[in-house]
Amino acid sequence: MRDYSKYPSFQYSSLRFFVLMLMATSLVGCNTIDLNQLGSIGESLQQAFVPADADDEKEIGDEAAAVLLGAAPVLKDAELQKYVNRVGMWVALQSDRPDLPWRFAVLDDPDINAFAAPGGYVFITKGLLARLHSEAELAGVLGHEVGHVVAKHHLNAIRKQARTRLVGMAATQAMEQKGHDSEQIAALVSGAKTIYGKGLDRKDEYHADRLGVVYAARAGYDPYALPAVLQTLDRINPNSSELSLLFKTHPQPADRLEKLDGAMRGTLDKFKGLTGEKRFTAQLARLAR
């Protein structure tokens, strides 16, 4: 991991800006942007550009994950964290990128959500974990996030932004030409987050759903556990605050379920699998003490 204490403040600020942009896209999406519609922020961003290096997935992922962990701490429960890592790693081993340094973690956050960051980071909130019913459902959720990493959805989105000159030069302009400090960068980031705050492209979410059920099925789990999770989410009042960010950044569960069921029908409905309900229940029972 890079030691930023030895870097000039500009480089740190630029990279932080870049990472925050990455986090914005990781968490809230990567929609195509019409720069002409962004006004002055768009003009600033259009002049901005620090391209992502072709081989820096892990580095970007480290920074992105660190920013995420700064916003939502990890749950201080080593046994549960190790459990989720064992399940997640077994699922990731079924993917096309089994050799990534996979890291899974439960976030101490009551909302219902899960996140992925480039390079092999997968996070699930305890709010979502507490609403699952089995290890197979956990595997399906983690599989969805593993799918995002394997398909490089977030990483490609960032590089797409880089091609449209969205990232670093705004910070350069702010720091060098206008002499402003990180507050101006933060303002740009804030504006960009507002623009980006619509979620990943829907096709990426549907793609991750398809990959998630396949990885879970390959791992020996019941492949219909993820559709069952979507049904769980679909029955919760959509106005619940616990779902606000998830629903803002993902297609509605019913839409995901319809698309996923259509893709699974005739193929994965022929596969049975284990639910692991007892082992999962034992883990959660420990938390209720």
Partner 1 sequence: MPRCILVLILMCSAAAYAADSGSIIESTSLHVTPNGQVRGQLSQNTLIQVLQRDGAWYEVKLPDGRRGYVPLRSVKFGEEKASDSVFGGLWSWLNSSRRSQDDMSSSTAGIRGFDEKELDASEPDYDALKELTGWAAGADSARKYAAALPLSARTVKELDDK
Can you tell me the distance from the alpha carbon of 135 to that of 6, in angstroms, rounded to the nearest whole number? 44
The binder of partner 1 chosen from 30, 50, 60, 87 (CB under 8 A)? 87
Residue 149 contacts partner 1 per CB under 8 A: no
Can you tell me the distance from the alpha carbon of 288 to that of 280, in angstroms, rounded to the nearest whole number? 13
Tokens of 103: 């890291």
Decide whether 168 or 280 has the Cβ nearer to partner 1: 280
Selected range binding partner 1 among 31-39, 40-48, 90-98, 157-165, rule: CB under 8 A: 90-98
Decide whether 35 or 66 has the Cβ nearer to partner 1: 66
- CA dihedral angle for residue 208, residue 57, residue 51, residue 27, rounded to 10 degrees: 40
Residue 163 contacts partner 1 per CB under 8 A: no
**Encoded amino acid at 97, one letter:** R
The binder of partner 1 chosen from 20, 52, 141, 158 (CB under 8 A)? 20
Residue 78 contacts partner 1 per CB under 8 A: yes
Instruction: Give the CA angle between residues 66, 67, 72 to the nearest 5°.
Output: 95
Strand ranges for 34-154 from DSSP E: 103-107, 114-117, 121-125
Tokens of 51: 């391209």
Residue 180 contacts partner 1 per CB under 8 A: no
**In the complex, what is the shortest distance from the CB of residue 42 to partner 1, in angstroms, rounded to a whole number?**
19
Assign 281 to helix, strand or coil.
helix
Residue 34: exposure state from Cβ atoms within 10 A (0-12, 13-18, ≥19): exposed
String of contacts with partner 1 for each residue 196-235, x by CB under 8 A:
-x-----x--xx--xx-xx--xxxxxxxx--xx--xx-xx
**In the complex, what is the shortest distance from the CB of residue 155 to partner 1, in angstroms, rounded to a whole number?**
18
Decide whether 35 or 274 has the Cβ nearer to partner 1: 274
